[in-house]
Amino acid sequence: MANVAVVGAQWGDEGKGKIVDWLCERADMVVRFQGGHNAGHTLVIDGKIYKLALLPSGVVRPGKMAIIGNGVVVDPWALVGEIERVAQQGLKITPENLRVADNASLILPLHRDLDAYREDTNKGIKIGTTRRGIGPAYEDKVGRRAIRVCDLADAGVLEQKVEGLLAHHNALRRGLGRDEIDGGQLLAELKAIAPRILPFMDQSWKLIDEARKSGQRILFEGAQAFLLDIDHGTYPYVTSSNTVAAQAATGSGTGMRGVGYVLGIAKAYTTRVGGGPFPTELEDEVGRGLLARGNEYGTNTGRPRRCGWFDAVLVRQAITIGGIDGIALTKLDVLDGMKEVRICTGYRLGTTSLDRFPAGMAEQGRVEPVYETLPGWTQSTRGARSFAELPAEAIKYVRRVEELIGAPVALLSTSPEREDTILMRDPFRD
């Protein structure tokens, strides 16, 4: 029985939350392994909408253990806020159903502040981050300065770490002409939030190991997506973590064989939020139609998402590099009613034809998509729960996508609702 990792195969917001929630019925444990509250995962269950950022999507189902793994950067105030927010929707989050890795690094207010400052003052490359402090927090982690969850339990270590961290940050802040951070105040803030976090702290790698050994099924929930991966994405327009499924192992503390099946999530078209190259972007009526019908606004930030045609080159690259076994194709219904639909099958760069996405920033910005046009469909696919309900043209589209990306479609999603999902191959059994 394979454990499954769910990862984004485009630029994020593919519907990972919906698919993780749906698959979770078949799982016992759900583990987040990278990113932080830059993620925004929307779940719709019988019309009730849940918006999750840091909490694994398994928390909406009773009896499942949710884990925030060591690869996640945890903003303790955001976590407490989210727990309180979902409590108002009737979800009780306790150590019975949530654990946080003791060795996860923290996002502090100074990270958020630095993220926003850079976004506001950067004159060159505009990343368009979520301003949640993700990049600066990962910088401190790799710089070996980070404060980790376990440090909250040790006043002596905490004080020493705050001092070390501020030696770096205050030097930086002085250089930028910004106010220095008061160590005593930061320490007091951390001591005040610690009792809200520490009850959830655990050696999560051990829980995962025990779950594996007792035959439980584990779902690893990716945030962001392949094209936002720090190594493989559209650098520097990326997030600051590895988003590919291999990160599920290091970001949760399980061996390479901990993940059996990698399910990539892709929309039936493409979206991106923030800056950076996007070869199939449509800045016309068709793009605006996708934005409106797909309700393409950021789950947490509310920013409108840029929209374009499905790019088979990029998804094929995500499949190859990320070791994706099958795809969940979402938002097929958003293409309903279009006269024709297009798929990008390659690029042109000047006089050269490309079947891959180049690594250079300038080239990524210059490639011109080469399209294949397929007939659209007039019937509605919205809410379809079996393949047989789909119009012939929609089936043709799905089959052509499979051919071009070189992987099977294991699941199809036809609306935001949990149950409007078509299972073609069970990732847990494949």
CA angle 224–53–152, rounded 5-degree value: 110
* Choice from 97, 241, 270, 413 touching ligand GDP (CB under 6 A): 413
Nearest to 329 by CA among 418, 390, 412: 412
* Helical axes 109-121 vs 183-197, angle rounded to 10°: 120
Minimum distance from residue 168 beta carbon to ligand GDP (Å): 32
Cα–Cα distance, 314 to 288 (Å, whole number)? 22
Q: Is 41 an annotated catalytic residue?
A: yes
Give 278 or 347: the residue with its C-beta nearer to ligand GDP. Answer: 278
Binding span for ligand IMO by CB under 6 A among 121-129, 207-215, 327-335, 347-355: 121-129
Give 133 or 258: the residue with its C-beta nearer to ligand IMO. Answer: 133
- Give residue for tokens 């008061």: 182
x/- map, 87-126, ligand GDP, by CB under 6 A: ----------------------------------------
| 51 CB-contact burial (10 Å; exposed 0-12 / middle 13-18 / buried 19+) | middle
Binding span for Mg ion by CB under 5 A among 60-68, 295-303, 353-361, 382-390: 295-303
Given 21, 37, 41, 420, the catalytic residue:
41
Q: Is 40 in the site for ligand IMO (CB under 6 A)?
A: yes
Give 40 or 71: the residue with its C-beta nearer to ligand GDP. Answer: 40
| Furthest C-alpha separation in the chain | 67
User: Is the peptide bond between 236 and the residue preceding it cis, with omega within 30 degrees of 0?
Assistant: yes
Q: Is 232 an annotated catalytic residue?
A: no
The CB density around residue 196, as the number of other CB atoms within 10 Å, is: 15
x/- map, 4-43, ligand GDP, by CB under 6 A: ----x---xxxxxxx---------------------xxx-
Cα–Cα distance, 198 to 177 (Å, whole number)? 36
Binding residues (CB under 6 A) for ligand IMO: these are 8, 11-13, 38-41, 127-130, 132, 134-135, 223-225, 228, 239-240, 273-274
> Which positions are catalytic?
13, 41
